[in-house]
Amino acid sequence: MTVADSGADRAELELLTDTLRKTLTSASGHELDTALAELGWPDLLDDLPDLAVPLVFRLLGETGAHASVLNDVVRRAAGWTGTDPVTLPFAGGTFVIWDSTGSTGGAVDEELALRTLTEGTALPAEALAEGRRALGWWLLGTGHTMLALARRHAVERTQFGRPLASFQAVRHRLAETLVALEGAEAALNNADGELGALLAKAAAGHAALTASRHCQQVLGGIGFTAEHDLSRHVRRTLVLDGLLGSARELTREAGALIREAGSAPRLAQL
């Protein structure tokens, strides 16, 4: 993310973040699409994509809201005009359309307006890379929210007269989740080029799936109930991981690319 380091710019960024967070907390779906358009999301995406995409998509994950903004990112990167839904590759060689005006309930996450297609066309390479970066930030935000839910439960809950957070097994699960999320964020911050975007999406998908698994274990039985917020984020993770290639598929693809090239390129200057 490229942000000027002046006090005024920091203040403006904080104000924008607070405004977006309030909007995403109070609306979702088609209503959120409309609200974001009124806030100037299309202009922000055109003028400051390196700021807009990480900010909005991470907040989508943190708040649990959803919108069809992935269509906007893909269309912009592909140079397409119009507002029609974009055909999006999904895990297993299938395709979906994210149509915020359509009916919901067609996916594991029943809140999302996704429709499965019998066939579709591949996205241009740059559009695929930009979409993967955006989804990576969404998965990262979702993962951090799951970690926060599990951590709060571990701190507040007592077992055998001791705080749940005092048990080593619980601490290890939370620590492993944090390490995975921090690694994914580092990959996203250095996701240059098509391979960088591929690896960043794979890392974010792996981190969010790790968060789903470990945080559900920490929360115990309550984590499996539909009434708890965690289940919502787990379902969201399963869908977002599959969009534009799952972590497992992308890892295999990266391995095949490296074998074909005969060497692994340097993706970040350490």
What is the average pLDDT value for the chain, to the nearest integer?
Answer: 91
Q: Which residues of 230-261 are buried (b: 16+ CB within 10 A; e: fewer)?
A: bbbbbbbbbbbbbbbbbbebbbeeeeeeeeee
Give the relative orientation of helices 168-189 and 125-156 as an angle to the nearest 10 degrees.
Answer: 160
Mean pLDDT calculated for residue range 181-193: 95
Structure confidence by residue, pLDDT tens digits, 79-124: 998 888 899 999 999 999 998 887 777 778 899 999 998 888 899 9
- 102 versus 50: the higher-pLDDT residue is 50
Helix axes 193-219, 247-261, angle to 10 degrees: 150
| Residue 231 · residue 220 · CB < 8 Å | no
Q: In what order do the strands lie in the sheet with 94-98?
A: 87-90, 94-98, 114-117
pLDDT at 132 over 80: yes
